[in-house]
Amino acid sequence: MDNKLRSSYKVIIVVVLTIMVSGACKKKNAIDKCGGTEGGPGGLVSLLVSTDQDITMGLAAVKEIESNPSKYQVLDSSKNVKAYGHIYRITKNILNSGNVFYKNEFAWRIRIIKDDSTLNAFCTPGGYIYVYTGLIKFLDNETQLAGVMGHEMGHADRRHGAKQMIQQYGISMLLSILTDSTSSKLPELAANLLLLKYSRSDETEADNYSVRYLYGTEYDPRGAKYFFEKLIAAGQTGGMPAFLSTHPNPEDRVANIDKLWECLGSKVGQTFVTQYMDFKSSLP
């Protein structure tokens, strides 16, 4: 059998398996009344890429970040104990919401990047979260930051990075890179991960999961919405940070978050202004 034929057989087998497994997992991945799945992300990613392989990708991205300290000035957690105490608390609150599917499988390790001019945050596959001081200083309360962090953690928890890597590399190439820890292609994949742009539907899904995570905490579940409203008010929608991508537009995202929040039951939470001021003033 030539290689082309063999790979088409592989594709057929994968498709058949997917149909079988998605049938078997129907209950687990049932859609709830507000349009979200009650189980994991499902789909090809869950079937073909393991959570350990997500961690492999995440660690490769961490290595890439740590090898470039002029671009990514990561704050030392042992020298910034107070600031890290705050951000660890926020991460823990989100993880303990009861709504993070891979709470125990992924690392969920957070680092602060010192760069006051960058309004950014991101989370690699496997849960390595980075938040820029520029974003923390731009925001007014803890709930807004929790909303943005929930969005980023949502990308990892719904496995959007792995999904994008399947599209970029194709599944067999991706798996061959991830099963060989010495693969020379791994650093290139890590660099691609750090430049990643998510699809419109993945952005909407990450917004939705931000609301869902915060719904299980004391935070107002609409934290991400308040961030978009702040961006709109600041007139920064033209220079939207890369991690928010240019689509969907912030006005649509605000409306989408409101709709989901109403569907979930319109729970109003807290914003935690005072402790957020303490967090901001603890930053270098």
Residue with tokens 């650093």: 187
Q: Least CB distance from residue 141 to Zn ion, whole Å?
A: 21
* E-only strand ranges, the chain: 109-113, 121-123, 128-132
Beta carbon nearer to Zn ion, 203 or 220: 203
Find the shortest distance in angstroms from Cβ 85 to Zn ion: 26
What are the structure tokens assigned to 205, written together?
A: 């899904």
Please give the torsion angle defined by the CA atoms of residues 143, 120, 53 and 25, in that order, rounded to the nearest 10 degrees.
Answer: 50
Residue 111 or 158: the one with the smaller Cβ distance to Zn ion is 158
Q: Which is nearer to Zn ion, 64 or 203 (CB)?
A: 203
- Secondary structure (3-state) at 58: helix
Residue 174 touching Zn ion (CB under 5 A): no
Select from 206, 211, 254, 260 the one that contacts Zn ion (CB under 5 A): 206
How many amino acids of this chain bind Zn ion (CB under 5 A)?
A: 2
Catalytic residue of the set 64, 142, 152, 203: 152
Give the dihedral of Cα atoms 239, 241, 244, 248; nearest 10 deg.
10
- Name the nearest CA neighbour of 265 among 32, 30, 91: 32
Active site residue 152: yes
Q: Which is nearer to Zn ion, 157 or 203 (CB)?
A: 203
Asked if 30 and 38 touch (Cβ cutoff 8 Å), the reply is yes
Catalytic positions, please?
152
Residues making contact with Zn ion (CB under 5 A): 203, 206
